[in-house]
Each structure stands twice: as C-alpha cells, then as structure tokens.
Amino acid sequence: MICCSPICKACIFGRCSHRAICVKCSLKLRYVFEDKKCVLCKETLDDVVVTSNRAAKFEDLDLSRMKVDKRTGIRLDSGISYGILDDLKLRCPVCVKTDTISRPFKNVRALKAHASKCHEGKLFCDLCLQHRKVFPHEQRLYTREELTIHMKRGDPPKNGHGALAPHPRCKFCRRKQFFDEAMLAQHMREAHFQCHVCQRQNINEYFRNYDSLKRHFERDHFVCQHPSCKEQKFVVFGSRLEYVVFERGVRARSARTHFLMFSPECQFYHFYHLYHSPISGENHSNT
C-alpha cells in the first residue's frame, strides 16, 4: 500500500505492533471498508491505538483511560486530539475544501439540505453516498444537469480525481439503478430468471419473469412434457438426444411404479410369461 498523504507525527497500531500504515489510511480501512485486519499479518484488531509515542508497546498502554470511537475501535492516547477522527464525521465537501468552519451534520438528510441551501442547489448522488468507498467529505457534488449526466455516463477524470463509472440500470425495472455492475448482477439473480441450459453454454441472458423464461424454453430447448416434470417447471434439455434419454428413463420408472402396484400373484404371472415367451423361435429356458 502506498500512501500519498503528508507523514503524520502520530502512529497507529494494535496488539500485533505493526505500524504499517498512517492514521488516515487506517481510518479509511476500518470505517469505510469495515476491515479491521492488520495489513501485514492479517490479524483482526478489535482495538488500535493512536499515539505520538512511536516507541510505545501496546501491552504497556492503559486502554481503559483512552477516548474511543466505538464503531472503529480506535483509541486515542493522551495528547492526541479527537479532531484526528474528523474524517469519520458527516462534513460538507465544499466547506472542507475551502476551510470553512462548519459543524458536522447529524445525518445524511441534514448534509444534503445544507449542500442544496448553501452551495447553489448542489446535489449528492444517493447511490454514491450509500456505496462509494470514501469519507463523507470526499463525496462529489453536482448541479442537477451534472447529476443526470453522472447517472447515465459517469464522471470523466477531472481536477485530479479519477473517473467514475455510470450507474447501470435494470432493463426490466426501468426506474431502478445500481451503484455498479456487481450490484446489478445480484439484483438480476434475485429478482429475475436465467436459463440454466444457456448458462452451461456461457450465455448469461436474463428474463423478466417465469412466463418469459417458459416461452424461451419452448422456443429454443426441449421441455419434458411428463406431468411431474411440467410441475417442476425447469426440466429442460439443450439437445434432442438429452431429452430422449431422459424421457425413456421417466417412462421406465413410470412402468416400474405401475408394475409394483399389482399383487404378488400378478407379478409372478407377468414374470413367468416374460421368461417363457419365445425369442427367435426359442424360450429363455433353452438359452
């Protein structure tokens, strides 16, 4: 990991004592990504300490007397200002950039109202606010026209910021947009249907509902017409050969079930005549 922020006098570490990253990067990992593992040894650290004493040992520190952020498990040693955790607070991107003094907001609704009222009607993207992995004050603000473009086309690289991909839309649920392709794919799997036959051929086509999938089955594949298979809805084959082999197996099982319904005397009669029936002019008993 490479950090481009100015080196901070304070350091942050847990019981493994690895001081591998700066305070800001550790804050982002623990708050934004909800990852409490050490970046070196991968040990989960429920508590970490921010201190200016780089020679300090974790086991020698009195954690009970330190200020703590309960969500991240970050504890502040004496001499460390609570302001070092400002990145975790709901602060306005414009106010932070212009060094304007403003109190953190209690909730996202208040932050959005402030941006609209105090910064020429600027708007946040709700999907980015919810899912983009940055601190609150690193989110982007848009005019109404810019937000429309952002939702459809994403953002190009600008003013040192990287590009942002557009938010994909479900082709069936027209009003629903998702933060990225992974979230769209999850929605498609949960809300819509895929053809398991096409999937085996690496064709990932989705269908709005089962009725449209059923029409696809009947048009492009081979559907078993046995009543029990039709009830299961997904007994479908990609080739006629697969279908014929399966159908014969179903018939054989159906015949066997029907045979077992007879009395033992009827079963004996059936086997006796089958055994003594002529084949090529000979009885089974003569073979």
DSSP codes joined into one string, 27-62: HIIIIIS---B-TTT--B-S-EEEES-TT--GGGS-
Band of pLDDT at residue 5, cut at 50, 70 and 90: low
Name the residue among 27, 137, 42, 128 with its Cα closest to residue 74.
27
Name the residue among 206, 197, 210 with its Cα closest to residue 172.
206
Q: Which helix (H) or strand (E) holds 69?
A: strand 67-69
With respect to residue 2, please indicate whether it lies within any of the assigned structural domains: no
Q: Which domain holds residue 41?
A: 11-88
Q: Are residues 145 and 113 in the same domain?
A: yes
Task: State the Cα–Cα distance between residues 270 and 222, nearest whole angstrom.
Answer: 35
With respect to residue 168, please indicate whether it lies within any of the assigned structural domains: no
With respect to residue 250, please indicate whether it lies within any of the assigned structural domains: yes
Cα-based angle 91, 179, 169 (whole degrees, multiple of 5): 140
Instruction: Indicate the number of domains in the chain.
Output: 3
Q: Are residues 239 and 213 in the same domain?
A: yes
Band of pLDDT at residue 284, cut at 50, 70 and 90: very low
With respect to residue 196, please indicate whether it lies within any of the assigned structural domains: no
Lowest mean pLDDT among 63-67, 217-221, 270-274: 270-274
Band of pLDDT at residue 41, cut at 50, 70 and 90: very high
Q: Are residues 49 and 103 in the same domain?
A: no
Q: Are residues 124 and 144 in the same domain?
A: yes
What are the tokens at 249? 């197996």
Q: Are residues 35 and 69 in the same domain?
A: yes
Q: Strands 141-142 and 193-194: what pairing?
A: unpaired
With respect to residue 61, please indicate whether it lies within any of the assigned structural domains: yes
User: What's the mean pLDDT in 198-212?
Assistant: 92
Name the residue among 124, 98, 100 with its Cα closest to residue 111.
124
User: What's the mean pLDDT in 98-105?
Assistant: 83
User: What's the mean pLDDT in 53-70?
Assistant: 90
The 10s digit of each residue's pLDDT in 253-282 is 555 554 444 445 444 444 444 445 454 344
Q: Are residues 104 and 134 in the same domain?
A: yes
The 10s digit of each residue's pLDDT in 109-148 is 999 999 999 999 999 999 999 999 999 999 999 999 999 9
Name the residue among 142, 122, 124 with its Cα closest to residue 132.
124
pLDDT, residue 8, reads: 75
Task: State the Cα–Cα distance between residues 106 and 63, nearest whole angstrom.
Answer: 28
- Which of residues 97 and 265 earns the better pLDDT score? 97
Could you tell me where the DSSP H helices lie in 62-125?
Answer: 93-97, 108-118
With respect to residue 284, please indicate whether it lies within any of the assigned structural domains: no
Q: Are residues 28 and 68 in the same domain?
A: yes
Whole-prediction pTM? 0.74
Contacts of 276 (CB under 8 A, 6+ apart): 283, 284, 285
With respect to residue 275, please indicate whether it lies within any of the assigned structural domains: no
Q: Are residues 62 and 99 in the same domain?
A: no
What are the tokens at 206? 């989705």
With respect to residue 189, please indicate whether it lies within any of the assigned structural domains: no
pLDDT, residue 252, reads: 60
Task: State the Cα–Cα distance between residues 19 and 101, nearest whole angstrom.
Answer: 32
Amino acid letter for position 1: M
